[in-house]
Amino acid sequence: MLEAAGVSQVQESVYRVLVMSDRATVDDIARRTTLTHADTARILDALVALGLATPADGSPRLYRAVPPDVALLPRIKKNAEALDLARTEAARLIETHRETVRRHDAGQLLEVITGAEALRQHLKQIQTNTREEMLWFCKAQYVAMPSGTNAEEYEALARGVRYRVLYEQAFFDDDGAVDNVATGMRAGEIARSVPTLPLRLAVADRSVALFPLVPGGPHGSPDEPTTALVRDSNLLSALVALFESYWENAVPLHLTATEGASPALDAEDPDTRTHLSPTDSKLLSLLVAGVADKAIASHLGLSRRTVQRRIQGLMERAGAGTRMQLAWQAARREWL
């Protein structure tokens, strides 16, 4: 049990006899341990060298145990510190080995995934293993996961993983897409919108990414998607930089402002000269994000005509002649 302190089992057995005997001769210990006289003498000399026993003058010579707190605790502490240093150095060697393998084996850097089902399983797995942050490019027409079916996202959000998701405008044309995004945002997702995205992309903890190797392969396509899983490398760094570039210039989405609000009543907000009603705030966020009137109407539970009427009212309040001018005025007036 004391191997961690540099004491062998047979040495420990002799030391225990000394601890329980206060003092003993070689013959005393040999009788109690069934060791030979020569082996006992050799082990006692080793204990003296280790600082666990001290000899006393006399004939026959007596041996006494050094108190365990004096003899063992400093050795255990020293060995623990050495073990920590060894563990740190082992971690460095492991990382060096991995980097060496990556440089000489491309298969350690990039893995090709074929088929929607295989892609779906990898997406689930990397989200399950994510601990800090997921980054997403969401294009229109799903390949592996229909909008609203990514249960792993909600589980990850619940355990504190941060999700930053970029949606291209065409994504919101699918039925229920806006509602699904709003559900994700209520769970903690941070969402923005851009006119178009260059590719589909998922990045987990900035250490692994999934992206298509070739265009095509959306749901309904006869071609199975061919996807790459890339690990820590210059390529992964470039993909993260691409995400951050698009994120910086994207329009933030605000889709949770109208929870519990009544569209018929909130239009009568008494402070409409300086603030938007909850419904108009959400409508404007969707409008600036490029979402079509039909999708806005479906999400808000309004008719397209009502949506267009409210947009016209916002334009009049902002003194804007076009929807583009409305977006500019909304940003200037901090309506978004």
Q: What is the pLDDT of residue 246?
A: 92
**224 touches 217 (CB < 8 A):** yes
Name the packing angle between helices 293-300 and 177-187 (round to 10°): 60
**Domain 108-252, CATH among 3.90.1150.10, 3.40.50.2300, 3.40.50.11540, 3.30.870.10:** 3.30.870.10
Q: Where are the domains of the chain?
A: 3-71, 73-104, 108-252, 263-332
CB atoms under 10 Å from CB of 332, counted, come to 9
What CATH architecture does domain 263-332 belong to? Orthogonal Bundle (1.10)
Q: What is the pLDDT of residue 59?
A: 63
Phi-psi group of 61: left, alpha or beta (phi > 0 → left; psi -120 to 50 → alpha; rest → beta):
beta
**239 touches 209 (CB < 8 A):** yes
Q: What is the pLDDT of residue 270?
A: 38
**165 touches 189 (CB < 8 A):** yes
What CATH architecture does domain 3-71 belong to? Orthogonal Bundle (1.10)
Q: Phi then psi for 114, rounded to 5 degrees? A: -115, 130
Strand 162-168 and strand 133-138: the pairing is: parallel
Mention every residue, 6+ apart, whose C-beta is less than 8 A from residue 21.
28, 29, 65
Average pLDDT, the chain: 80
Asked if 3-71 and 108-252 have one fold, the answer is: no
Mind listing the pLDDT tens digit for each residue in 111-166?
Answer: 888 888 899 999 999 999 999 999 999 998 888 788 778 899 999 999 999 999 99
Mind listing the pLDDT tens digit for each residue in 152-189?
Answer: 999 999 999 999 999 998 888 888 888 898 899 999 99
Tokens of 36: 């030979």
Mean pLDDT of 300-307: 86
Mind listing the pLDDT tens digit for each residue in 54-76?
Answer: 887 666 778 888 887 777 777 77
Tokens of 290: 């490029």
For residue 3, pLDDT beyond 80: no
- Rounded to whole angstroms, the Cα distance separating 253 from 131 reads 24
User: H or E element: which one contains 53?
Assistant: strand 53-56
163: three-class secondary structure by DSSP: strand
Q: What is the pLDDT of residue 205?
A: 94
Mind listing the pLDDT tens digit for each residue in 222-266?
Answer: 567 889 999 888 889 999 999 999 998 888 887 765 443 333 334
